[in-house]
Chains A and B, each alone.
Chain A
Amino acid sequence: MRAMTYRGPGRVRVEEKPIPPLEHPNDAIVRVTCAAICGSDLHLYHGMMPDLRVGHTFGHEFVGTVHAVGSSVEHLQPGDRVMVPFNICCGSCFFCARGLYSNCHNVNPNASAVGGIYGYSHTCGGYDGGQAEFVRVPFADVGPTKIPEWMDEEDAVLLTDACPTGYFGAQLGDIREGDVVIVFGAGPVGLFAAKSSWLMGAGRVIVVDHIDYRLEYARRFANAETVNFTQVDDIVQWAKETTEFLGADVCIEAVGAEADGAFFQHLTAAKLKLQGGSPVALNWCIDSVRKGGNVSVVGAFGPLYSAVKFGDAMNKGLTIRTNQCPVKRQWPRLFEHVRNGVLKPSEIVTHRVPLDDIAEGYHIMSNKLDGCIKPLVYPNGKH
């Protein structure tokens, strides 16, 4: 089969690999029909995640058709069209039993601090991902679900991570009616977080980024106010002034490890890898939220330490809530929202690339060229 493979920071190529075998009785092998490049794939692409091995196939957002199933699989059969959450989860450990599927304890021997994620390095379990023609899907009776007949494939692929993560980020903010919400980051997750904040009753939603075309998208897609932080003297001061010096009720960090806006932080984290991630946006969240407010963090960071302003967080009595999104748990409600037209996830898709051109897809996404928000990858070259 053909699969995208990592060749070092900033380099990927398509190689021939064997079709993955069934390794466990509850495995399925899925023929991928559509995958996506996620903003968090860029942290891998830039070599920021430890134990990222050359030859690794990325891709934790994908949908496809079941090709083969293991002997104990009961809920799926070959030919089923399935969407697969980015979390690999057993369904029976302490954490899965409590609905914390992203924290599953039975799928990642390499680390106890993170669960299993498709195509996200050996730190996340060493599973090849879905930017390929085929992918191994463990615990096929727990994670994947059949794509409803009425659901568009591109909506389905965005429901495997980006859309649920943004929706989850708004929930972590514990938004109450009339709250002022500031979302840092106008990438796919930030856009969905902004949109979801309205669903939860926000009174004002402000999106902060440094790229004008993304902010324009935020205004159009998420009905948000926007501010380009390079166009104000000090984004924290701006946040205070726009809230009558109270601060926002909720700040959502939807940027993660490669946040820009403070050169030293960006250099030490994104370029020199001396931090787990650049905490620029996280620190702005801490500074911009009001005392006693909530900071929701859904941006992905590496496992090393980061220079976070924890003293301010403590002194302000903040509630900081975080997690990788337990996708499976969001689906029933999000399916309703998609079916009712409240959400149309595929509206953020800007690029569609065949697998053979994936290196160019990564370059465009990484450099934010050509108005790129969300690129999809088609292994069979067609869309």
Chain B
Amino acid sequence: MAYTREKPRLTPPVEELRRTIPGWGVDLDRANRPSVPKEKFEETGAHWDVPEQQPEHWPREKSTEHRFVTPVFGTAQPLRGVSGAIRRYAYTFSEGRTAHWLLLLIGDRVDIIESRIEALTKGQPDNPITETGVLAEFKDSAFRTRFGQHRADLKHQPLDLLLWAVPYVALAGCLYMLAQRRPARRAMR
């Protein structure tokens, strides 16, 4: 036995495909494929050679891999607080450095803690029931629809629950320990 130069016959004849598959082959010709070739000059709609610069109302963080702040940029959620300081530091590293991305991920987690506290102080506390959308599980028996599908993720969904619960368990543990230590101190006095 040996492999041969011919391609094994694996597919139905073209006539059958054309007959049975709607639109079969309408883009067979590469000329009909919009992203072929990869680079193609075309009318873009821009009526400028150099776009105007968007005003910068606060010092905008930027990648070290850019020479300047780009002419247009997002203004949502400016840097603030401890998370902002971490993120600003992250932007001193190039995108090629792991430190850049790991610091941003740390900043994200610190941001969550800051935001939870802020929401609490503003009287708009986070609600884990409504924000996770978990009530959807009970509408139209959605909970049941995850079963009987041969899903790979069913095996580790308990892990998701565990990861979700870890911060709360840790917080409850800290509070419990604090509560235990206070009476002990009072007793010592």
Contact = CB atoms under 8 A, between A and B. Distances in A.
B45 interface: yes
B33 interface: yes
Given A90-B72, A180-B11, A210 B61 contact: no
The DSSP consensus for interface residues of chain A is loop
B137 A263 contact: no
Contact of A13 (B41, B77, B131): B131
21 contacts: A50-B108, A53-B83, A107-B71, A108-B70, A108-B73, A110-B62, A110-B73, A112-B65, A116-B74, A141-B47, A168-B35, A171-B36, A172-B35, A210-B153, A223-B22, A246-B3, A326-B35, A359-B131, A360-B133, A363-B134, A371-B145
B52 A99 contact: no
A203 B11 contact: yes
Interface residues of A, number: 113
Given A54-B112, A361-B133, 14 more contacts: A7-B126, A10-B132, A54-B115, A92-B49, A92-B50, A99-B35, A122-B77, A138-B72, A142-B45, A171-B36, A178-B11, A261-B152, A303-B101, A359-B133
B98 A74 contact: no
Tell which of A74, A122, A228, A342 has the most Cβ of chain B within 10 Å.
Answer: A122
B52 A126 contact: no
A109 B73 contact: yes
Given A106-B71, A263-B155, A364-B142, A359 B132 contact: yes
Interface in A295-342: 302-305, 326, 328-330, 332-333, 337, 341-342
Contacts of B135: 360
A223 B21 contact: yes
A50 B24 contact: no
B66 A11 contact: no
Contacts of B160: 271
A107 B73 contact: yes
Interface in B34-79: 34-36, 38-42, 44-52, 54-55, 60-63, 65-66, 69-77
B46 A230 contact: no
A24 B39 contact: no
Given A52-B108, A110-B63, A228-B150, A90 B46 contact: yes
A25 B62 CA distance: 22
A23 B54 contact: yes
Interface in A67-113: 72, 74-75, 88-92, 96-101, 105-113
Given A13-B131, A111-B95, A364-B136, A123 B62 contact: no
Nearest to A261: B152
A279 interface: no
Interface of B: 3, 7-8, 10-12, 14, 17, 20-28, 32-36, 38-42, 44-52, 54-55, 60-63, 65-66, 69-77, 83, 87, 90-91, 95, 98, 101, 104-105, 107-108, 111-112, 114-116, 126-128, 130-137, 139-140, 142-143, 145-146, 148-153, 155-156, 159-160, 163-164
A337 B26 CA distance: 9
Contacts of A204: 10-12
A98 B127 CA distance: 47
Given A96-B46, A369-B145, A24 B54 contact: yes
Interface in A348-365: 358-364
A368 interface: yes
A212 B45 contact: no
A204 B20 CA distance: 12
Interface stretch (A28-36, A155-163, A194-202): A194-202
Interface string A162-173: 000000100110
Contact of B24 (A88, A199, A230): A199
A359 B137 CA distance: 12
Interface in A230-282: 230-231, 242-246, 260-261, 263, 266-267, 271, 273
Most buried by B among A196, A213, A370: A370
Contacts of A266: 156
A130 interface: no
* Those 8 A-B pairs whose CB atoms lie nearest each other, nearest first: A203-B11, A126-B74, A91-B46, A363-B133, A91-B44, A359-B133, A244-B8, A50-B104
Nearest to A243: B10
Interface of A: 7-8, 10-13, 23-26, 47, 50-57, 72, 74-75, 88-92, 96-101, 105-113, 116, 122-123, 125-128, 138-139, 141-142, 168, 171-172, 177-178, 180, 196, 198-201, 203-204, 210-213, 223, 228-231, 242-246, 260-261, 263, 266-267, 271, 273, 302-305, 326, 328-330, 332-333, 337, 341-343, 358-364, 367-371
Given A106-B72, A138-B72, A330-B34, A112 B54 contact: no
Contact of B137 (A105, A127, A211, A369): A369
B74 A203 contact: no
